[in-house]
Amino acid sequence: VAKRMRGLQQSVLGAMTVRCRQLGAVNLAQGLSQVPPPASPLAAGARDFEHLGHSYSQPEGLAVFREAAADKLKRCSGLSVDPATQVVATVGATGALMATLSALLDAGDGVILFEPFYSYYLSSLQVLDLHPEPVRLVGPDFRITEESLRAAVTDRTRAMILCTPNNPTGRRLTAAELAVVAAVADEHDLLVISDEVYEDIYFDAAPHLAAATVGNLGERTVTLSSLGKSFSVPGWRLGYASGPERLVGAIRIAADSLVVCAPTPLQEIGARALGLGDDYYRDLRAMYDRKRRFLAEGFAAAGLSPNEPEGSYYLFVDCSRMGVATGAEAAEVLLEDNLVGTVPGEAFYLGAPERPYVRACFSLPDEVLAEAVDRLASGSLTHG
């Protein structure tokens, strides 16, 4: 086994899913997204399946998919990209991230991660011999501050990874935070990778603020999107990256070397999903808003302190009142005593979290969430 694989194991999330199965626990750990996908593009796809493309597509993806993606980016994120040169279809957002890192960075380069971060960023960097440079998000509402970002940049820093809406914190980056990112990125000529897979899942009226629309970030930002989140089909492994032509051109070549192309028939069906109108997204957000409130009330009724996510489909729950020192301990009690599986906050940090956090996913059917809330109420979680 290669030296760079040292310490890489099955993710904490995957391991928690296995334990949930063994114990018969409700699994709020992995972002499994078990809500139904939109019926109309699926039905059309099923009807036409025989006649869809079943061979390789060109590495950048089918034109129909890229055109639908560019149109959707314009409508939902205010991003203007040329589908001919500035979009590439990928094997999920994970494939988009791997292709982007492979195409644009060299072994040993430093990449800033805002902590807590989606744990795959770290393993992706490790697999590619890239060097993580963590920057702590500040305060109870996990903000990027100019001071902490500036202090983190080193001689080897070449890039940073943003995530908005954020997994696991549920925060959406503000224009002010993105202005800080833009200033520091300009000063040090950094690549910005903006993971916006939750771009369609947010809970206040303000539309999604794409990093690439702020200041001149568009000149140096690759935006990652996933049909898995927007259309509840994570198992399709279909996403896309967009950005300036000089960056996307290299990403297309890397994506070809890595996986040849994204699944062709799913690109065709995905293009139809990308064409869904405002009503679809309104319903999606209303559904997640309801699920978010329901699960948050369950955690609060059990005496714990869930955050109020602005977007994404996770709660980040402060378990201090359980009298535990770490998120790992909290997750263990929730699993063993209440049969509710969550992810220990430590999975999203390189250093130690300030508080004992766990992350709980609410992209699940209502009856599963109801079962989780019942089980949270079943044992005394707090002391005194």
Q: Does residue 94 touch ligand PMP according to CB under 6 A? A: yes
Q: Residue 353, preceding bond cis, omega within 30 degrees?
A: no
Minimum distance between the CB of residue 163 and ligand PMP, rounded to whole angstroms?
A: 5
Strands 221-226 and 239-242: antiparallel
Minimum distance between the CB of residue 380 and ligand PMP, rounded to whole angstroms?
A: 32
Binding ligand PMP (rule: CB under 6 A), the pick from 16, 69, 93, 271 is 93
Give the x-and-dash track for 195-224 against ligand PMP (CB under 6 A). Answer: x-x---------------------------
What DSSP string describes 45-65? HHHHGGGS--SPPPTT--HHH
Q: Does residue 163 touch ligand PMP according to CB under 6 A? A: yes
The stretch among 41-49, 86-94, 340-348, 376-384 that binds ligand PMP (CB under 6 A) is 86-94
Residue type, 24: G
Q: Does residue 167 touch ligand PMP according to CB under 6 A? A: yes
CA distances from 38 to 43, 269, 276 (A): 9, 11, 9
Binding ligand PMP (rule: CB under 6 A), the pick from 45, 92, 218, 353 is 92
Q: Residue 140, preceding bond cis, omega within 30 degrees?
A: no
Q: How far apart are CA 330 and CA 115, in angstroms?
A: 20
Q: What are phi and psi of 358, to 5 degrees?
A: -130, 155
Of residues 31 and 218, the one with the C-beta less far from ligand PMP: 31
Strands 157-163 and 191-195: parallel
Of residues 77 and 338, the one with the C-beta less far from ligand PMP: 77
Q: Does residue 239 touch ligand PMP according to CB under 6 A? A: yes
Q: What are phi and psi of 347, to 5 degrees?
A: -65, -15
Minimum distance between the CB of residue 283 and ligand PMP, rounded to whole angstroms?
A: 21
Chain residue at closest Cβ approach to ligand PMP? 92
Would you tell me which residues interact with ligand PMP (CB under 6 A)?
Answer: 31, 92-94, 118, 163, 167, 195, 197, 226, 228, 234, 239
